[in-house]
Amino acid sequence: MLIVISPAKNLDFQSPVKFKSVTQPLMIDQAKSLVQICKKLSPTDLTDLMGISDKLALLNAERFKEWKLPFDEENSKPAMFAFNGDVYEGLSAKDFDEDDLYFAQDHLRILSGLYGVLRPMDLMQAYRLEMGTKLKNSKGDSLYKFWGSQIADHLNKDLDGNNQFLINLASDEYFKSVDLKALKTKIIKPVFKDFKNGDYKIISFFAKKARGMMARFIIKNRLMKPQQLAEFNFGGYQYSHEESTDLSPVFLRDNVN
């Protein structure tokens, strides 16, 4: 199984990483071309483009200016440890051992507005460029147009051998970057619901963390078959046979902690 998750807005480039087996992003040339566009944008342009504060716009303008090749362990950090958000709290990769890391490198992919597809140990430099950004480029007026079928093409290369199913744990914004017409596999999308006001509902904050926990569950247990997802019981979630389908397993939680 191949897992896809979203990146996070928050970054952590201060905490050390104990693993040294780093890799280079596979779509670095595309990232470079996007950075060249972004380097020409002023902080005010970035505020308007991304809808962010003046402070964040200034920070990211500086990040784009400082972005340079080659990537090394001095100016970059492995993606799985650089992102710091709800999904990554659920993933909790800081306590992975080397075997976990190797499995994750083969089975986990991070979708990125700037880097396209990142493996866990691919080095990256700090940035903010969400997939839904309407950034004008040589291929159109959005990042979706820029990436086209490229992300799906890269995922197809990883979808062989034991990776015959794609487990979609990404947000809708990011998974929209995957050209489904080009993707050559079945997509399984787990759904996480919490009980609130008399009904089970998808609550964004909890669902993000649950998607990270599901990715962790797959990695730690070396899952290879979609049917094994039903065994997931992290954070109080339990598989619901009644609400699930083969391509959309549903997990319910009664008590929100």
H-type alpha helices, 84-138: 86-91, 98-107
* 162 band by pLDDT with thresholds 50, 70 and 90: low
Whether this prediction's pTM lies above 0.85 is answered by yes
User: What residues contact residue 98 under an 8 Å CB cut-off, 6+ apart?
Assistant: 19
Q: What would the pLDDT profile of 141-157 be if each residue is shown by its tens digit?
A: 999 999 999 999 999 99
Query: Could you give phi then psi for residue 182, rounded to 5 degrees?
Result: -90, -20
- Which conformational region is residue 197 in: left (phi greater than 0), alpha (psi within -120 to 50 degrees), or beta? left
Between CA 118 and CA 249 the distance in angstroms is: 26
Q: What would the pLDDT profile of 24-54 be if each residue is shown by its tens digit?
A: 999 999 999 999 999 999 999 999 999 999 9
Q: What would the pLDDT profile of 50-95 be if each residue is shown by its tens digit?
A: 999 999 999 999 999 999 999 999 999 999 999 999 999 999 999 9
Between CA 201 and CA 185 the distance in angstroms is: 28
Structure tokens at 96: 């992975």
Between CA 135 and CA 144 the distance in angstroms is: 9
Q: Considering only CA atoms, which of 201, 175, 205, 218 is closest in space to residue 85?
A: 205
* 255 band by pLDDT with thresholds 50, 70 and 90: confident
Tell me if 90 sits within 8 A of 210, measured CB to CB: yes
